[in-house]
Amino acid sequence: MARDDVKTGYKLIGTRPNRPDGLDKVTGRARYGADFSLPGMLHAAVVRSPHAHARIVKIDASKALALDGVKAVVTRADLPTGLTGEDLNLQDNTLAGERALYDGHAVAAVAATSALLAQDAARLIEVTYEVLPHVTDVDTAMAPGAPIIREGVADYSVPEGMHGNVARYMEFGHGDVEAGFAAADIVREHTYKTEATHQGYIEPHACVGQMGEDGRGEMWVCTQGHWYIRRMSAAVLGIDAANLRVTPSEIGGGFGGKTTIFMEPLSLALSRKAGGRPVKLVMSRSEVLRATGPTASASMDVKLGMKKDGTITAGQVFFRMQGGAFVGMSPIGEALPCAFACYDIPALKHEAVEVIANRPKAAAYRAPGSPMAAFAVESLVDEMCRELKLDPIEVRLKNGATNGSKSSYGPVYNVIGLKETLEAAKDHPNYSAPLGPNQGRGVASGFWFNHGGETSVTLAVGEDGTATVMIGTPDIGGSRASIGLMVAETLGIPYENVRVNVVETGALGVNEPTHGSRATFASGKAAVEAARQAMAEMCRRAAADWGIDPEAVEWKDGAAHPAGPNAGKFPPMTIGEIGSKMGSTGGPISGHHEVTAEGVGASFGTHVVDVEVDPETGRTTILRYLVVQDAGTAIHPAYVEGQYQGGAAQGIGWALNEEYVYGADGRLQNPIFLDYRIPVASDLPMIDTVIVEVPNPGHPYGVRGVGETGITPPLPAVASAIAGATGARIRSLPCSPPKVLAAIKANRA
């Protein structure tokens, strides 16, 4: 059931108009990161470490610099010293310092008059390495005797006596866990593992940077957040943020992976060394996979107590997560609170460590931490449901969090829609579709906090009564359309009369990136506030014209009206009329709102998947897939469905085939889409969606944010469906055919 059919009183919200950038995107005119060119532009290439861990003894660029057309080489020696904390992390990752910390770690960069020449030059830069011991697996890194990769980087949270590769530690909980387990009829405990996966956006990182002798620079870049790019690049280069102007291109997918910098400051550093000529830097796919943010790999112990009626009495988790060779990059702080967020359980204990390993610096990936946590906890819940022959949806309804529940991580849930998603899943025909031989069904729920964040929006009324909205959150999946709908709804004007533009860093206050499912929520909320300000000003203009009190004017249907019979009789003054004479009534009319947006509504979803497993090869086919998720309010239902379907597809990929494969030499063995196997069109069925709407009281139109939760349930749901089809439980993702076949055989034996 789409929202289109539901009576809400809204004129535009819940409809499905064409997105404003659609035309540019179907004609090839939309400009992405690599599509910008400037006069005099150079092209850059990056030299990367082939070793997982090595001391950099010497970098000799003389042969490269001797080539005609090579204009600049940059190494760590060209970057300022003295950085600390995350700034140092960023600089260390942009260019290796004394040591290369993972296969693919950038060591030097070169700019030349063509991309081919830059690549030739990069091959001529001679780097002398002294190879050091390495470790890439999260459990191996925690083993006694594992090489200690980053001595001394552990933060305040790590108690004495922990393994030298532990960089962070966290523990919280409530209730008496031991008493809870004692009260259970069955207590089960298993270890679950997930491999690192990559966001897999199809557009590789790309930017054009220009920086002159005066230290001022500009950058055009594909990013989820250009203020982040500005702040981080300025920090790495030791310049003031105000000296850098960053313009976001259209963005070819991000999923969290484009919320930080990887190579962007290099374009500026090279430009400066090349006399201020602009420098284009575009990653290859293998660079993307080797050196940009995969998510963490995880090894997770889970223990649950359950009564025969399905009541969960206690839960306990211990997560080990590896986020690369840099402290603070694994999502332990998100994974732990997500672990039991769908449940109301009287006693819980959460513990996690972040582990350092010779892998690339992890970045956020769609609901960071939540999919791994869900794989562990939801898999075990399913195992216990099967053991006790209980319906998995009933068990979740029995134990599920609801309005007023105290969450597993502290806050009290206000108004949430988990149970509504469970009920809708139970009622959906997919849940009762008959299953054939070798087929199985899996169910899982998922959670994401959602995020508000720093947000600044300006709205300007045009002379013709149209509205231009300036937002700072890049539009990845249709947010210009949804924000346009909310503004048009608020102003009471046609959707087509609102133009939403994503503007550069010089045009607005600081905005956080499009992350945390926040663009439609936070930029939307600020845009509505800006529209209300403009409406108030337009009411004042009408009041002045009519000679009545501004309080006696109200705004509806795109016009100022006298409010009630006592205000006087005046024909409505439309936004077009007000706009056309604004010059003579006090000047331009605009609204502006900036806020750290609070009032986020937690997001819950429930997925149901049917699979068929070939018992002779272990190969899994997805037969049916259902996503049910609470959107709060679906502003543009087509793009809400798109988020659900896209999240599910990524989760299915993670569950079945995607993984980072490291060799014994510490090198990534599959840095190519041929072997990093994301789902292709023929791998998937249609993905059914049900949009549940439990409006978020913290947003003027009830928006919760829909981007992230959808990737969470597929991991456990697919593994549980495979267990249903085969009787074999896969506790280590991906459920690749060799693993499933081996499990089927072990189960038979």
**For other proteins, what does the binding mask look like between residues 434 and 453, x meaning CB under 8 A?**
--------------xxxxxx
The site map against other proteins for 391-430 (x = CB under 8 A) is: ---------------x--xxxxxx----------------
575-592 as b/e, with b when 16 or more CB fall inside 10 Å? bbbbbeebeebeeebbbb
Q: Smaller CB distance to other proteins: residue 48 or 396? A: 48
3-class DSSP state of 456: strand
Report, in Å, the least distance between residue 707 CB and other proteins.
8
Strand order from edge to edge, sheet including 244-248: 70-75, 106-112, 42-48, 279-282, 206-211, 217-221, 244-248
Three-class secondary structure of residue 439 per DSSP? strand
* Strand pairing category for 166-174 and 297-306: unpaired
Stretch that binds other proteins, among 34-42, 54-62, 264-272, 536-544 (CB under 8 A): 34-42
113 binds other proteins (CB under 8 A): no
Contact 714, 654 (CB under 8 A): yes
**CB nearer other proteins, residue 145 or residue 738:** 738
Among 2, 15, 32, 78, binds other proteins (CB under 8 A): 32
Out of 75, 91, 113, 199, point to the residue binding other proteins (CB under 8 A).
199
Q: Please, which residues bridge with residue 73 across strands? A: 110
Torsion of CA 711, 716, 719, 723, to 10 degrees: -150
* Smaller CB separation from other proteins, 455 or 574: 455
What's the start-to-end Cα distance of the chain, in Å? 46
State which of positions 2-21 bind other proteins (CB under 8 A): 16, 18-19, 21
Quick check: helix, strand or coil at residue 198?
strand
Local structure of residue 668 (DSSP, 8 states): B
Using left for φ > 0, alpha for ψ between -120 and 50, and beta otherwise, residue 269 falls in alpha
Residues 502-521 that bind other proteins (CB under 8 A): 512, 515-518
d(CA 716, CA 382): 8
Phi, psi torsion values for 294, nearest 5 degrees:
-75, 170
238 contributes a contact to other proteins by CB under 8 A: no
What is the rounded distance in angstroms from the CA atom of residue 276 to the CA atom of residue 359?
A: 34
Contact status: 669 vs other proteins (CB under 8 A): yes
Q: Residues 453, 199, 472, CA angle at the centre, nearest 5°?
A: 30
The torsion angles phi and psi of 553, rounded to 5 degrees, stand at -115, 135
Q: With binding defined as CB under 8 A, does residue 742 bind other proteins?
A: yes
- Which member of 257, 294, 417, 558 binds other proteins (CB under 8 A)? 257
The helix or strand, by DSSP H or E, that contains position 43, with its residue range, turns out to be strand 42-48
Question: CA–CA separation, 327 vs 354, rounded Å?
Answer: 8
Does residue 229 interact with other proteins by CB under 8 A?
Answer: no
CB of 72 to other proteins, least distance (A): 20
Q: Which amino acid is at 650?
A: Q
383 belongs to the binding site for other proteins (CB under 8 A):
no
Find the binder of other proteins among 315, 323, 472, 707 (CB under 8 A).
707
Return the residues of window 545-584 that contact other proteins according to CB under 8 A.
none
Verify binding: residue 298, other proteins, rule CB under 8 A. no
- Residue (316 or 574) nearer to other proteins, CB: 316
Residue 684 binds other proteins (CB under 8 A): yes
Q: Minimal distance in Å, beta carbon 648 to other proteins?
A: 6
**To the nearest whole angstrom, how small is the minimum distance from the Cβ of residue 252 to other proteins?**
3
List binders of other proteins among 149-178 (CB under 8 A). Answer: 155-157, 159, 169-173
The residue (of 364 and 467) whose beta carbon lies closer to other proteins is 364
Minimum CB distance to other proteins, residue 298 (Å): 16
Give backbone dihedrals phi and psi of 422, rounded to 5 degrees, phi first: -65, -45
Encoding tokens for residue 280?
Answer: 């284009």
Q: For residue 183, count CB atoms less than 10 angstroms from its CB and return exposed for 0-12, middle for 13-18, buried for 19 or more.
A: middle
Site for other proteins in 585-614 (CB under 8 A): 596, 598, 600
Please choose, out of 387-395, 485-493, 528-536, 646-654, the segment that lies near other proteins by the rule CB under 8 A.
Answer: 646-654
Q: Decide whether 348 or 385 has the Cβ nearer to other proteins.
A: 348
User: Nearest 5°: CA angle at 684, between 682 and 688?
Assistant: 140
- For residue 432, state whether it binds other proteins (rule: CB under 8 A): no
1: contact with other proteins by CB under 8 A: no
Residues 498, 488: Cα–Cα separation, whole Å:
6
Which range binds other proteins by CB under 8 A, 57-65, 500-508, 546-554, 639-647? 639-647
Find the part of the chain contacting other proteins (CB under 8 A) among 76-84, 231-239, 307-315, 683-691: 683-691
Number of residues binding to other proteins, judged by CB under 8 A: 125
DSSP assignment letter at 280: E
- Asked whether 282 and 206 are in contact (CB, 8 A), the reply is yes
- Please say whether the beta carbons of 93 and 326 come within 8 A: yes
Binding flag, residue 84, other proteins (CB under 8 A): no
- Least Å distance between CB 363 and other proteins? 8
Q: Mark 339-378 with x for binding to other proteins (rule: CB under 8 A) and - for no binding.
A: ------------x------------xxxxx----------
Q: Which residue, 14 or 200, is less far from other proteins as judged by CB?
A: 200
617, 665, 727, 748: which one binds other proteins (CB under 8 A): 617
